[in-house]
């Protein structure tokens, strides 16, 4: 056995040997061909890409999803090129394919890794049926700025939740065996720090201290590597002065050196040539040099590599060994996908698009993603049998396309079931629905239908407002500086409110919106994100109490945009605000002291707390937490402590609750966040049931990267909370000591 394969499992040994054998036959130009991905949606690709394929100049194509076209591209690559290397077929399959699941931020609100994994599997099966074998998901950029349009594609602000859901998504796409029919390679993106772009402007700069990179932004990527993700994508953004696509520290030193990543790294779209625009390089040739020596293995949709790498190797500036490393990691994924055995797709061998199971998973994901933000006096659920009419008002009640959200290239709008449609189906003729769209779209300032909306509300027994933002208002390059309800929606709420009936708002959006303008104007708010194909039936089940809401916020909801960044795991600072220093006006603690009394980290014009905290989400029952306990008051490094609580369902319905464990490391050699999520469990309790919920916590889970850049647990006192949000009140404590 040679050194190359010692210690590898059998299949991996075979693959490693095959890769080396193939590499040995390749010319430099063919190698660089494997490192090039090309856009293939400009007409009939086999025609205009045929010659380059035959010459072995293309390793991957992007943006074709016609299975016949893709099979033909594979045939040319395999049968008509010298070495017959099959293609990677890339596509952004972000939250579903034909069947659309909730946006990732909505899926994060389920706090349900199993369901997220099932959703990714549904997407993989549908994408694979079209010939796609590589998706550019999950996006696991920690997102703490709701102005950033791409927060919609993220799993929110929390390191643990993002890491767990990212890994679940990867498992769903890749399955146990990448070569199995229906598995596709995943791509964790965007490495690294993209979510921290200044003021939420997409593509802007980031400045992130190394300890923060390591303790926050890197962590989901490290988890993705541990979960076996095949590929990673670089970020468009500048990171501490070195744009991610040219950043050797992150792409080579950390990713490969420290984490042992063996897949390959793809640039983002043309981001290699953009190194020049950033001002890092003078021209495309230097950009190719910077990216390739940094550790970017494949160029997406640009020609810097194909034009310049051959010359750079001939000059000796880029070594052929480093080219070989890149090509080997690309070929390895092609072997793992089984493409050398069979590059073709037989659509008949995979389940139908939008089959019953796919729609059921999409509905369940939507159902569990919806967050009940408030519910005064039990305004929800509505009792259908006590109503004879309902006013259904707003631009998003019947908007098939808009409810799908961002990144739905292949999503089938025709499959969407809107809330209005679903309510009609559920209620039949027994309840009259008075539908008034009221606004052409969420941004509209034309309010000539408002009178009709008010009249409908006046004449009906209940009022449902479907508000929010269209899909176009979030996603890539769709950031907003003001994240309130756009257009004249606030005015619509006020006009409807004025008639004095209970008002229920259902909000569809791609981000946390600032809701301070309407939160006191409505009795209940269901926050439904962009819920996807089956959003309508899911929302309808919740509105009429066929199911109880169980979603929890994956991101903090600010009161006003000026509070951003606001997130639960912030640092304490030396003059932290506290509830005691808040001035209470009419029992509402929303105002900071406008005098010198405060002297703490307040904004003068708003409270320091968010409107809704991370982890928040109500239910139609009432869950109570009592008797938090620790199994030991003191443990030493390397041991475990069990933290438990009694959770009671104090209502009359069976319902689910996401129980959350947070800790605080009170003193650290680097200051530590005021709270960190360390565990969560989605549990279902019968009416009046009480159950003990326990979390095992190993001291490793309390480690962090300290001053010396090493990940260590520091002895000392820890607080632990268990509750239904990051505002959990049940608290206990324990001490960690040095090894016994
Ligand atoms: C640019 C986006 O940043 C990235 O996330 C996406 O995968 C590529 N374009 C391909 O469409």
Boundaries of every domain in the chain: 623-737
Best residue among 232, 476, 478 to mutate for probing ligand 1's pocket (most ligand atoms within 8 Å of CB) is 476
Strands 187-191, 134-135: pairing is: unpaired
Instruction: Give distance in angstroms: CA of 398 to centre of ligand 1.
Output: 29
Residues of the chain above pLDDT 70, percent: 96
| Pair of tokens at residue 631 | 């199994």
Q: What is the pLDDT of residues 336-370, one digit of tens each?
A: 999 999 999 999 999 999 999 999 999 999 999 99
Whether 268 is a known active-site residue: answer yes
- Is residue 203 within 6 Å of ligand 1 at its C-beta? no
Best residue among 89, 197, 269 to mutate for probing ligand 1's pocket (most ligand atoms within 8 Å of CB) is 269
At 212 the pLDDT is: 97
Instruction: Give distance in angstroms: CA of 407 to centre of ligand 1.
Output: 10
At 591 the pLDDT is: 53
Atom 9 of ligand 1, nearest CA residue: 269
- Is residue 126 within 6 Å of ligand 1 at its C-beta? no
Instruction: Give distance in angstroms: CA of 373 to centre of ligand 1.
Output: 32
- pLDDT band for 430, please (50, 70, 90 cuts): very high
Atom 7 of ligand 1, nearest CA residue: 136
Instruction: Give distance in angstroms: CA of 336 to centre of ligand 1.
Output: 24
Residues listed for the chain: 740
- Is residue 194 within 6 Å of ligand 1 at its C-beta? no
Instruction: Give distance in angstroms: CA of 4 to centre of ligand 1.
Output: 34
Distance in angstroms (rounded) separating the CA atoms of residues 549 and 374: 11
Atom 3 of ligand 1, nearest CA residue: 268
Cα within 13 Å of Cα(149), Cβ side: 19
State which ligand 1 atom lies nearest to the alpha carbon of 189.
5
Work out the average pLDDT over 312-328: 98
Work out the average pLDDT over 554-568: 97
Distance in angstroms (rounded) separating the CA atoms of residues 623 and 724: 8
Reply yes or no on whether the pLDDT at 209 is more than 70. Answer: yes
Distance in angstroms (rounded) separating the CA atoms of residues 184 and 177: 9
Best residue among 136, 154, 189 to mutate for probing ligand 1's pocket (most ligand atoms within 8 Å of CB) is 136
Work out the average pLDDT over 73-98: 98
State which ligand 1 atom lies nearest to the alpha carbon of 139.
5
State which ligand 1 atom lies nearest to the alpha carbon of 137.
7
Distance in angstroms (rounded) separating the CA atoms of residues 450 and 156: 35
Distance in angstroms (rounded) separating the CA atoms of residues 539 and 490: 22
Reply yes or no on whether the pLDDT at 1 is more than 60. Answer: no
Q: What is the pLDDT of residues 581-631, one digit of tens each?
A: 665 555 555 555 555 555 677 787 888 899 999 999 999 999 999 999 999
Best residue among 233, 408, 474 to mutate for probing ligand 1's pocket (most ligand atoms within 8 Å of CB) is 233
Instruction: Assign a CATH topology to domain 623-737.
Output: Immunoglobulin-like (2.60.40)
Distance in angstroms (rounded) separating the CA atoms of residues 271 and 277: 9
Cα distances (angstroms) measured from residue 723 to each of 122, 142, 404, 694: 32, 23, 32, 12
Instruction: Give distance in angstroms: CA of 270 to centre of ligand 1.
Output: 10
- Is residue 625 within 6 Å of ligand 1 at its C-beta? no
Distance in angstroms (rounded) separating the CA atoms of residues 117 and 207: 33
Q: Which region among 89-98, 136-145, 392-401, 594-603 has the lowest average model confidence (pLDDT)?
A: 594-603
Instruction: Give distance in angstroms: CA of 410 to centre of ligand 1.
Output: 15
Catalytic choice (238, 268, 410, 523): 268
Distance in angstroms (rounded) separating the CA atoms of residues 569 and 104: 21
Q: Are 557 and 525 in contact (CB under 8 A)?
A: no
At 606 the pLDDT is: 83
Q: What is the pLDDT of residues 46-55, one digit of tens each?
A: 999 999 999 9
Q: In terms of pTM, does the model score above 0.85?
A: yes
- Is residue 141 within 6 Å of ligand 1 at its C-beta? no
Q: Is 250 helix (H, G, I), strand (E, B) or coil?
A: helix
Q: What is the CA radius of gyration of the chain?
A: 27
Reply yes or no on whether the pLDDT at 555 is more than 60. Answer: yes
Q: What are the backbone angles phi and psi of residue 350, rounded to the nearest 5°?
A: -120, 155
- Is residue 91 within 6 Å of ligand 1 at its C-beta? no
Q: What is the pLDDT of residues 451-495, one digit of tens each?
A: 999 999 999 999 999 999 999 999 999 999 999 999 999 999 999
Instruction: Give distance in angstroms: CA of 583 to centre of ligand 1.
Output: 47
Work out the average pLDDT over 41-61: 97
At 3 the pLDDT is: 42
Going by C-alpha positions, the residue among 66, 74, 75, 58 that lies closest to residue 41 is 66
Q: What is the pLDDT of residues 151-174, one digit of tens each?
A: 999 999 999 999 999 999 999 999
Instruction: Give distance in angstroms: CA of 205 to centre of ligand 1.
Output: 17
∠ Cα 149 153 155 (to 5°): 115
Mean pLDDT estimate for the chain: 95
Reply yes or no on whether the pLDDT at 413 is more than 50. Answer: yes
Cα 403 from chain centroid? 17
Q: Are 422 and 398 in contact (CB under 8 A)?
A: no
Q: Is 533 exposed, middle or buried (0-12, 13-18, 19+ CB in 10 A)?
A: buried
State which ligand 1 atom lies nearest to the alpha carbon of 187.
7
Q: Are 607 and 645 in contact (CB under 8 A)?
A: no
Q: Are 456 and 505 in contact (CB under 8 A)?
A: no
Q: Are 45 and 51 in contact (CB under 8 A)?
A: no
- Is residue 410 within 6 Å of ligand 1 at its C-beta? no
- Is residue 92 within 6 Å of ligand 1 at its C-beta? yes
Best residue among 60, 153, 188, 300 to mutate for probing ligand 1's pocket (most ligand atoms within 8 Å of CB) is 300
- Number of Cβ within a 10 Å radius of residue 283: 13
Cα distances (angstroms) measured from residue 597 to each of 525, 577, 581: 35, 11, 8
Helix 67-80 to helix 45-54 angle (10° resolution) is 20
Reply yes or no on whether the pLDDT at 22 is more than 70. Answer: yes
- Is residue 136 within 6 Å of ligand 1 at its C-beta? yes
- Number of Cβ within a 10 Å radius of residue 683: 16
Positive or negative: CA dihedral 540, 542, 546, 552: positive
Atom 4 of ligand 1, nearest CA residue: 268
Going by C-alpha positions, the residue among 565, 609, 528 that lies closest to residue 212 is 565
Distance in angstroms (rounded) separating the CA atoms of residues 33 and 269: 17
Instruction: Give distance in angstroms: CA of 474 to centre of ligand 1.
Output: 14
Going by C-alpha positions, the residue among 653, 648, 661 that lies closest to residue 615 is 661
At 587 the pLDDT is: 52
At 601 the pLDDT is: 74
Distance in angstroms (rounded) separating the CA atoms of residues 462 and 379: 10
- Is residue 268 within 6 Å of ligand 1 at its C-beta? yes
At 586 the pLDDT is: 54
State which ligand 1 atom lies nearest to the alpha carbon of 301.
10
């Amino acid at each position: 056995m040679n050194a190359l394969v010692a210690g590898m499992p059998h299949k991996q040994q075979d693959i490693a040997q095959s890769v080396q054998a193939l590499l040995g036959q390749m010319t430099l130009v063919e190698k660089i061909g494997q490192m090039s991905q090309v856009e293939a949606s400009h007409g009939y690709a086999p025609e205009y890409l045929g010659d380059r394929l035959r010459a072995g100049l293309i390793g991957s194509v992007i943006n074709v999803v016609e299975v016949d076209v893709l099979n033909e591209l594979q045939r040319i690559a395999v049968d008509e090129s010298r070495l017959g290397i099959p293609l990677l077929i890339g596509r952004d399959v972000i939250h579903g394919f034909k069947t659309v699941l909730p946006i990732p931020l909505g899926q994060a609100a389920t706090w349900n890794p199993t369901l997220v994994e099932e959703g990714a599997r549904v997407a993989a099966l549908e994408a694979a049926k079209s010939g796609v074998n590589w998706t550019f998901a999950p996006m696991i950029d920690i997102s703490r700025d709701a102005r950033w349009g791409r927060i919609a594609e993220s799993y929110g602000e929390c390191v643990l939740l993002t890491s767990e859901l990212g890994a679940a998504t990867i498992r769903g796409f890749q399955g146990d065996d990448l070569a199995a029919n229906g598995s596709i390679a995943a791509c964790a993106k965007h490495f690294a720090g993209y979510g921290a772009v200044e003021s939420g402007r997409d593509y802007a700069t980031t400045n992130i201290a190394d300890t923060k990179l390591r303790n926050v932004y890197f962590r989901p990527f490290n988890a993705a590597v541990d979960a076996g993700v095949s590929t990673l994508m670089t970020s468009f953004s500048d990171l501490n002065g070195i744009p991610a696509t040219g950043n050797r520290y992150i792409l080579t030193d950390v990713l490969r050196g420290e984490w042992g990543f063996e897949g390959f790294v793809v640039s983002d779209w043309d981001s290699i040539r953009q190194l020049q625009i950033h001002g890092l390089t003078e021209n495309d040739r230097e950009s190719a040099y910077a990216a390739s020596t940094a550790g970017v293995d494949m160029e997406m949709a640009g020609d810097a590599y194909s034009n310049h790498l051959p010359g750079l190797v001939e000059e000796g500036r880029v070594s052929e060994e480093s080219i070989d490393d890149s090509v080997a990691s690309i070929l390895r994924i092609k072997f793992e996908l089984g493409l050398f055995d069979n590059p073709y797709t037989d659509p008949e061998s995979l389940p139908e698009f939008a089959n019953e199971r796919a729609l059921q998973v999409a509905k369940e994901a939507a159902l569990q993603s919806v967050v009940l933000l408030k519910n005064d006096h039990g305004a929800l659920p509505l009792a259908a049998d006590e109503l004879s009419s309902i006013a259904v008002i707003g631009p998003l009640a019947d908007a098939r396309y808009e409810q799908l959200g961002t990144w739905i290239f292949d999503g089938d709008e025709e499959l969407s079931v809107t809330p209005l449609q679903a309510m009609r189906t559920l209620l039949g003729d027994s309840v009259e629905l008075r539908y008034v769209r009221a606004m052409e779209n969420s941004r509209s300032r034309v309010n000539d239908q408002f009178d009709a909306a008010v009249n409908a509300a006046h004449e009906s027994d209940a009022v449902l407002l479907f508000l929010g933002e269209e899909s176009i208002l979030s996603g890539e390059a769709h950031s907003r500086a003001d994240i309130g309800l756009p257009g004249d929606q606030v005015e619509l709420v006020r006009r409807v409110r004025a008639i004095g009936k209970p008002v229920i708002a259902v909000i569809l959006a791609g981000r946390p919106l600032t809701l301070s303008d309407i939160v006191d104007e409505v009795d209940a708010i269901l926050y439904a994100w962009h819920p996807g194909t089956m959003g309508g039936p899911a929302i309808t089940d919740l509105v009429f109490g066929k199911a109880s809401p169980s979603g929890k916020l994956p991101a903090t909801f600010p009161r006003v945009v000026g509070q951003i960044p606001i997130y639960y795991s912030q640092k304490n600072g030396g003059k932290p605000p506290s509830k005691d220093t808040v001035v209470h006006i009419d029992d509402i603690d929303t105002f900071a002291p406008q005098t010198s009394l405060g002297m703490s980290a307040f904004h003068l014009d708003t409270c320091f707390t968010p409107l809704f905290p991370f982890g928040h989400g109500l239910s139609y029952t009432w869950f109570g937490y009592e008797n938090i306990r620790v199994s030991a008051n003191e443990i030493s490094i390397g041991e475990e402590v069990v933290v438990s609580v009694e959770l009671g369902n104090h209502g009359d319905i069976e319902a689910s609750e996401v129980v959350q464990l947070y800790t605080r490391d009170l003193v650290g050699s680097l200051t530590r966040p005021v709270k960190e999520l360390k565990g969560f469990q989605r549990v279902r309790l019968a009416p009046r049931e009480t159950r003990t919920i326990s979390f095992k916590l190993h001291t490793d889970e309390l480690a962090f990267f300290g001053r010396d850049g090493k990940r260590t647990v520091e002895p000392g006192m820890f607080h632990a909370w268990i509750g239904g949000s990051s505002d959990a009140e049940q608290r206990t404590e324990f001490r960690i000591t040095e090894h016994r």
